[in-house]
Amino acid sequence: MNHRHVALIDNLAVPVAATQIYNLKGMDPISELVVHFRGAVLNAPAVGPYADWLQRILVIDGSEVIVDLSGRQAVALGYYHYKVCPKGMAQFTPTLQARVSFRIPFGRWLWDQELALDPARFKNLQCVLVMAPALGGKGTGAGFVDLMANMFDEKKINPRGYLRAREHFRYTVVAGAIQTIDMPVDKIIKMFMFQGDMNAIPLSQTISRIRIDEDNDKHVYVDNDAVDIIRDLAPDNVPITESFYSDTCVGGQTIYTTPFYSVIGVVSGVDAILNWGEVMSLDGGQLHVHTTNVGNVSGVVEGYCPMGVIGIENGDPWDIDDWYNPSKIKQLRARLTAGAGGAGGTNKVIVQQLSNY
């Protein structure tokens, strides 16, 4: 067979916070890693999105860092890279199972022969999962994780390099302030991602404007309000449609969803008792669901900017030669302006780059 879908970690129980390390040494070239987490929901208030079950994913070779993302950032990377809705089940009904998946691409598309992570090119390649089942959704006392690799098998390839994705910088937001960040210029950049995922605060308040310039304003690459970038500079981003399920919402219940911007939703009953209600976006990935009668409900939300992340792609995502090459400049800066209501949040900058062997 040309390709294989391999379960590296299969149905591993994670009842409490844990770190799991898997050695990738000696494997065939990997096109993509997939992490899948599931667990029975507790009867407790929701504390965050289920993506928080995965606190951090790393792919490392000694001191060399290839991937370093939070679970939230991994969800956003998969959305912007593949241009498909994140997959999962936002389940807030106690005892039923919630699910969340994370896709880490090393090529432009699945089975890209030119870009893939080849463990043979490294000394001690490892994947590290840092998990905390109590910190996402309503938590779980019985979590399970799978780590899967989509890899080449009998089809022999000789990739020129791979895509790496890492959090580059983070800082505490000051209302109305401008934060200047020196961006990396050592490798070709496929995509910038800017994250302002503050609970119950509009994304436009944590990141109001984005400016990227070269060599002290010699060239200005981007200088736009964040909402204009979301609406006009990325028209091919599909809306994020996510279903959710919950126990009774009489009196109101707060849940967490993937989209952060321009979120709308509807809710209906799923039991024999006639039930209806309303969904009100509280911003920052929070949703307030209120129903008229006791009983389980289901709903759907739609919006943009998964986990508070704004993605800016650099050229044709499938054409390596069209990506942003900073090799001829000395300085690349990003300037993020905060709104008046974003104080106290933590903004992050993530960069997806081409790394050649």
Distance CA 46, CA 72 (A): 16
Q: How far is CA 269 from the centre of its chain?
A: 30
CATH topology of domain 3-238+305-356: Jelly Rolls (2.60.120)
Q: What is the pLDDT of residue 110?
A: 97
Please report, as a single letter, which amino acid is at residue 14.
V
CA distances from 56 to 17, 73, 89, 114, 346 (A): 12, 9, 20, 27, 16
Most distant CA atoms of the chain, gap in Å: 66
Q: What is the pLDDT of residue 272?
A: 64
Radius of gyration from C-alpha coordinates of the chain: 21
Instruction: Calculate what percentage of the chain has a pLDDT beyond 70.
Output: 97
Show me where the domains of the chain are located: 3-238+305-356
DSSP state of 183: P
Distance CA 284, CA 257 (A): 9
Query: pLDDT (tens digit, 9 = 90+) per residue, 161-172?
Result: 999 999 999 999
pTM: 0.95
Q: What is the pLDDT of residue 157?
A: 95
Q: Residue 274's closest CA among 294, 248, 298? A: 294
Q: What is the pLDDT of residue 279?
A: 79
pLDDT tens-digit profile, the chain (357 residues): 899 999 999 999 998 889 999 999 999 999 999 999 998 899 888 899 999 999 999 999 999 999 999 999 999 999 999 998 887 778 888 888 999 999 999 999 999 999 999 999 999 999 999 999 989 888 887 789 999 999 999 899 999 999 999 999 999 999 999 999 999 999 999 999 999 998 888 899 999 999 999 999 899 999 999 999 998 876 678 889 998 888 877 777 888 999 998 888 888 877 766 676 777 776 788 888 887 777 788 889 999 999 999 999 999 999 999 999 999 999 999 999 999 888 998 999 999 999 999
Q: What is the pLDDT of residue 267?
A: 84
Sequential DSSP letters for 333-347: EEEEE--TT-TT-EE
